[in-house]
Chains A and B, each alone.
Chain A
C-alpha cells in the first residue's frame, strides 16, 4: 500500500479534509484483547494515536505481595496468558537466584523443552489471529490444529492445558510421563513441515504480501530508544536475544540461530517469527536428545516439597511438608532481577525479599507493555488498514500489558 497511485500518506490532499477522532476498542475484534485506541484520522490516514490500556488490570503484582513465594506462581502465569511457562520461569528463576538454589540438569532441560513448546504455541496463536485480521481465515484453523497438539503435550505432562503451574522453585513438579517423549518426537518431526505449509499459504498470497511488505517500518535506532525487544527488534536487524546474551538454563549448550530481518517491516516480523518456530523445534529436539537422567527437582527440603511417598514413613518429611505448605519458606532480604527471552521479548522479573515468607514486591518487565510504545511510530501516517496489520504484528497480550 505504500506505493499507491496517488498516496495521501505524504502529499497534501486535493480536497479539504479535517481530522476526526475515533475510538477503536476496548471491544473490537482486531485489537487482540481489550486495548482501546484513540485514533485521529484524516480521511483514511492515521495522524495520531493513543493506546489506552488498563482494561484487564488485575492487580496481580499487588496480589503477589500477599502470597507466600510458592503461591505466587499461579498468579504470575495469568499475566501474559499465552506464554505462561515463561512467566513461571521468570519468577521461579528469580527466586532461585534469591535463595541461591541450583536446579538439577534434568529440570533445566525439561524447562527448556516446555519453554520452547510454549514459544511455538504462542507464535501459533499469534499467526492464527493475525492472519485472521488480514482475512486469511483458514490460517486460524491450521494454526490451532498444531496448537491443540502442543496443549495435549502440556496436558499429558502437567494435567492442565493452560496455566499449568509446572515449574517449581527448584525444578519441575513431576517428571514427564511414559509415552510423552514419543508423542513429542512425532510433533517435532511434523512441525517444520507445517511451518512450510503456512509459508506456502501466506507467502504467495498477493493480498497478504501487499498488506505486510513495506508497512509499519520503524528504524532500529528508534526501537532501541523505546526499549523494544523480541521479534520486533530482531526484524529490524538487531540480533538481540536473551537466550544468547544471557546465560540461563542450558541455552548456551544448544545449537540454534537467531533469525533477523533486514527491513523491519511487518513482513519481516512475520518471517522472523516463523523462523523462530523452526529454531524452537531444533532446541526441543536437542534438549530431548540430551535429556539427562537424574532428579527433576532439587533436593533442598527447605524450599522443595518432599516426595509424596515419604510422607507416611518419615516424620521429618512430614514436618517439612507441613512447614512449606502452611507458612512457606522465608527468604533472606535482598533483591534480584532475572530476565529471559519470552516470545514477545525480554521478560524480566524483579523480586524484592524482606526476610518474610512473602515477597515484598514482585514486578514484571513485560515485553508487550514496552513494545506497545512503539505502536505509535508504526502506525502514524499510514492507513487504518495498515494500523491493524501493525498491531497484529506487534503481538501485544493485553493481560501482560495491564497485569
Chain B
C-alpha cells in the first residue's frame, strides 16, 4: 500500500520515467470517452422517484427494496426523491388505472432528461390479470418504458435484477432510439397546452388519445 502511494507520488512529480512509467500507466489508468464516464456515473447514482401505485410498491423501490435485506443502496439508487423534478427514474409499481394514467404521464413529463422508466410487475407491464374497463393494459401505451419486470408482485431480488439491467442499458446505449420513436424530446409539460417542441403527426395523435383518456 505504502509502496503504491510512493509510486503514485513519484508519477505526479514526474520522477517515474521510461519503462517504469509506461508500466505504471498501463496498470493504473483507464482511458475512456467522456460520454461513457458520464453514463457510468449516471447508472450508479440514480435518484428514483419515491412513487407507489399498488401492491408492488411494498416490494419495490419505496419500501422493501430499500430496506436492509435487499438494500438497493448497493447499486446507488436508495435516495428516493419526492419531487419528479429531482428524479432520474420512475418505477411504475402496480396497476395503472385509467384515472391514474394522465397523472403518471404528467409525472414522467415533469422529470428532467435524462430519465428512465421501469414498469414493475404484470399489471403495469401488460394489465396483468385485470383485463377490464378500469386498468390501462400496459403502461407503455402512454409512456416509454425501458425495463419491464415480470411478477405479481416481483420479488425485491427481481427489482434489483431489473435495475441492474437498466444500469447496463444506461452504460451501453442510454436511449436505444426510443426518444426518436416516441418523439419524446425535451422536458415539456404535456398536460398544459402541449409540448414546446413541434411533435410529429404520430405524436400529436398519441397526445390526443392520452387527453381523451384523461377526460374519460
B-contacting residues of A (Cβ < 8 Å)? 26-29, 33-34, 54-60, 62-63, 66, 74-75, 78, 81-82, 125, 128-129, 140-141, 144-145, 148, 161-163, 398-399, 402
Q: Please indicate which of the listed interface residues A27, A56, A125, A145 has the most CB atoms of chain B within 10 Å of its own CB.
A: A27
- Contact stretch, chosen from B17-25, B33-41, B132-140, B160-168: B132-140
Judge whether A56 and B95 touch: CB under 8 Å: yes
Residue of A nearest to B68 (CB): A141
Report yes or no: A58 in contact with B97, Cβ–Cβ below 8 A.
yes
Write the B150-194 contact mask toward A (1 if CB under 8 angstroms, else 0).
001101000000000000000000000000000000000000000
**Contacting residues, chain B, for A82 (C-beta < 8 A):** 58
**Contact between B100 and A58, CB atoms less than 8 A apart:** no
Q: In the complex, which residues 84-123 of chain B have their Cβ closer than 8 Å to any Cβ of chain A?
A: 84, 94-95, 97, 99-100, 103, 107
Q: Tell whether, in the assembled complex, residue B58 and residue A63 are in contact, meaning their CB atoms are under 8 Å apart.
A: no
CA of A145 to CA of B66, assembled, Å: 11
User: A56 CA to B68 CA in the complex, in Å?
Assistant: 28
Contact of B100 among A56, A141, A161, A399 (CB under 8 A): A56
Interface string of B62-100 (1 = CB under 8 A from A): 111001110000000000101010000000001101011
Residue pair B58, A57 in contact (C-beta under 8 Å):
no
Residues of B near A56 (CB, < 8 A) are 53-54, 94-95, 97, 100
Q: Chain A nearest CB: distance from B82 CB in Å?
A: 5
- Asked if A162 contacts B153 (CB within 8 A), the reply is yes
Contact between B99 and A57 (Cβ–Cβ < 8 Å)? yes
B54 partner residues in chain A, CB cutoff 8 A: 33, 56, 58, 78, 81, 398-399
If A28-B82, A59-B135 are given as contacts, then 16 extra A-B residue pairs at C-beta distance below 8 Å, sorted by A number, are: A27-B107, A33-B53, A33-B54, A34-B100, A56-B94, A56-B95, A56-B100, A57-B134, A63-B129, A128-B63, A129-B63, A144-B63, A148-B64, A162-B58, A162-B153, A163-B55
Number of A-B contacts (CB under 8 A): 98
Q: Which of B51, B63, B80, B130 contacts A58 (CB 8 A)?
A: B130
Residues of B within 8 A of A60 (CB): 130
Interface size class of B (residues with CB under 8 A): 35 or more
Say yes or no: is B126 at the interface (Cβ < 8 Å to chain A). no
Task: Please give me the residue from chain B that is nearest to A398 by CB atom.
Answer: B54
**B69 contact set on A, CB distance < 8 A:** 144-145, 148
Partner pick for A59 among B63, B68, B133, CB 8 A cutoff: B133
Q: Please give, as numbers and ranges, the residues of chain A lying within 8 Å of B84 by CB-CB distance.
A: 27
Q: Does A55 contact B130, Cβ atoms closer than 8 Å? A: no
Chain A neighbourhood of B58, CB < 8 A: 81-82, 125, 162
Kindly state the separation between the CA atoms of A144 and B62 in the bound complex, as whole angstroms: 12
Q: Enumerate chain B residues within 8 angstroms of A58, measured Cβ to Cβ.
A: 54, 95, 97, 130, 132, 134-135
Give the nearest-CB partner of B90 in chain A.
A27
The smallest beta-carbon distance between B86 and chain A, in angstroms, is: 13
B125 contact set on A, CB distance < 8 A:
none
In contact, A62 and B133 (Cβ under 8 angstroms): yes
Q: Which residues of A contact B153 (CB under 8 A)?
A: 161-163
> Contact partner of A55 among B67, B99, B133, B152, CB < 8 A?
B99
